[in-house]
């Protein structure tokens, strides 16, 4: 049977860990060639583990070092990918960090670092991806769209989060960037959507699940009463990247076990 993303080329940023790694694996299972991006030399081994896993499963992947907040590095990653694999069909704009602090003691450095990776990084990668989608145009044997971008947002694009102003601002920014470029390029058959994960078990939020007490407390925020797995996000990403979702653009898909359903009102408020 033809796989949904057969021979399409996907760049997954921040794929050496967590959601990015899980999404890389799901995209590869769906037939995509996956560029497993990692930021620094120290994370190459982790990225290579994902590449090996994909290859062992019969898929095709390559690790690639690039700090998404650095314009020349992003430009080079896209140029090298096009040289090596012919084009880019799918961008999973996933790389993200947290630098938490109470607002009055949040340093400008912590604010800038989070915005640089979470928002500037998504801007730089989306810009290069769209340039390539427009250059190549639609090839129906690949996909009925010229290209697909999936921005990894968060429930915190809509839920305010004390102590995380930089992170929440970056995710709110992603929401409007995503919708704006979806509007700007829909006529060119480029689809741009976001996934807003709730609590997914990754190193980023380990404090929220690593003790039984923390996990129990987390369940107060999740009507579906389980923490998310990276494959929950990866499977949603495959759908948004495939032609099955061809009429979907400018949307945020919340994959959150109901976290955005105001769980405080579960017992009549
Ligand atoms: P992880 O910390 O597990 O993974 C983050 C990935 O991004 C790592 O591979 C990291 O590399 C990479 N990265 C960090 N900085 C850069 C950079 N400058 N350039 C390229 N890659 C970089 O986090 P998650 O998997 O949990 O998070 C992934 C995305 O999902 C983020 O955007 C996050 O905001 C979002 N998200 C996560 C949720 C969760 O519950 N986990 C909930 C909602 C949203 P390295 O490990 O080498 O530093």
Q: Is the CB of 205 under 6 A from ligand 1?
A: yes
Q: Give the Cα separation of 110 and 101 in Å (integer).
A: 8
**Residue 2 confidence (pLDDT):** 81
In the chain, what are the helix, strand and coil shares in percent, each to the nearest 5? 50, 15, 35
Q: What is the pLDDT of residues 220-261, one digit of tens each?
A: 999 999 999 999 999 999 999 999 999 999 999 999 999 999
- pLDDT for the residue 1: 72
Whether residue 164 lies inside any domain: the answer is: yes
Q: What is residue 128's predicted lDDT score, i.e. its pLDDT? A: 99
Pick the catalytic residue from 38, 64, 167, 247: 167
In a domain, 63, yes or no: yes
Give per-residue pLDDT as tens, 145-156: 999 999 999 999
Find, among 221, 118, 206, the residue nearest to 166 by Cα.
Answer: 118
Residue 10 Cα to ligand 1 midpoint, Å, equals 17
CA of 78 to the centre of ligand 1 (A): 20
Q: How many C-beta atoms lie closer than 10 Å to residue 243's C-beta? A: 15
Other Cβ atoms closer than 10 A to 102: 10
The whole-angstrom distance between residue 104's C-alpha and the CA centroid of its chain comes to: 30
For helices 230-241 and 18-29, the axis angle rounded to 10 degrees is: 50
CA 123 to chain centre: 13
What pLDDT score was predicted for residue 239?
Answer: 98
Cβ neighbours, 10 Å, residue 96: 25
Q: Is 252 in the pocket of ligand 1 (CB under 6 A)?
A: no
- The CA distances from residue 108 to 100, 102, 166, 189, in Å, are 12, 12, 10, 39
pLDDT tens column, 153-166 = 999 999 999 999 99
Global pTM value = 0.98
Q: What letter does residue 119 receive in the DSSP assignment?
A: I
C-alpha separations of 137 from 30, 54, 147, 189, 213 in Å: 22, 28, 8, 8, 52
The reply to whether 91 falls in a domain is yes
Is 147 contained in some domain? yes
Best residue among 204, 229, 234, 256 to mutate for probing ligand 1's pocket (most ligand atoms within 8 Å of CB) is: 204
DSSP H or E run through 9: strand 9-12
Structural domain that includes position 95: 9-256
- Atom index in ligand 1 nearest the CA of residue 15 equals 9
Q: Is 167 a catalytic residue?
A: yes
The pLDDT assigned to 96 comes to 98
Asked if residue 80 is part of any domain, the answer here is yes
Let me know if residue 267 belongs to a domain.
no
The number of distinct structural domains making up the chain is 1
Per the domain annotation, does 87 fall within a domain?
yes
For 108, the 3-state DSSP assignment is helix
266 belongs to a structural domain:
no
CA of 38 to the centre of ligand 1 (A): 10
- CATH code of 16's domain: 3.40.50.720
pLDDT in tens, the chain (269 residues): 789 999 999 999 999 999 999 999 999 999 999 999 999 999 999 999 999 999 999 999 999 999 999 999 999 999 999 999 999 999 999 999 999 999 999 999 999 999 999 999 999 999 999 999 999 999 999 999 999 999 999 999 999 999 999 999 999 999 999 999 999 999 999 999 999 999 999 999 999 999 999 999 999 999 999 999 999 999 999 999 999 999 999 999 999 999 999 999 988 87
């Amino acid at each position: 049977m033809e796989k949904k993303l057969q021979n399409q080329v996907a760049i997954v940023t921040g794929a050496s860990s967590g959601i990015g790694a899980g999404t890389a694996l799901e995209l590869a299972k769906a037939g995509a060639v996956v560029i497993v991006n990692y930021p620094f030399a120290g994370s190459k081994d982790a990225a290579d583990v994902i590449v090996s896993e994909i290859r062992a499963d019969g898929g095709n992947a390559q690790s690639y070092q690039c700090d998404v907040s650095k314009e020349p590095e992003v430009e080079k990653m896209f140029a090298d990918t096009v040289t090596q694999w012919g084009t880019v069909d799918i961008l999973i704009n996933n790389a993200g960090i947290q630098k938490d602090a109470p607002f009055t003691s949040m340093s400008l450095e912590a604010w800038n670092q989070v915005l640089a990776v979470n928002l500037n990084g998504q801007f730089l990668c989306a810009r290069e991806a769209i340039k390539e989608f427009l250059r190549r145009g639609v090839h129906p044997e690949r996909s009925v769209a010229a290209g697909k971008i999936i921005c990894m947002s968060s429930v915190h694009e809509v839920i305010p989060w004390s102590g995380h102003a930089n992170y929440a601002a970056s995710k709110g920014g992603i929401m409007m960037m995503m919708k704006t470029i979806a509007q700007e390029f829909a006529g060119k058959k480029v689809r741009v959507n976001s996934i807003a994960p709730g609590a997914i078990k990754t190193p980023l939020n380990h404090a929220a699940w690593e003790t039984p007490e923390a996990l129990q407390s987390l369940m107060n925020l999740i009507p579906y009463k389980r923490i998310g797995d990276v494959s929950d996000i990866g499977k949603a990403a495959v759908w948004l990247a495939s032609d099955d979702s061809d009429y979907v653009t400018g949307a945020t898909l919340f994959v959150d076990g109901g976290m955005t359903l105001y769980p405080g009102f579960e017992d009549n408020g």
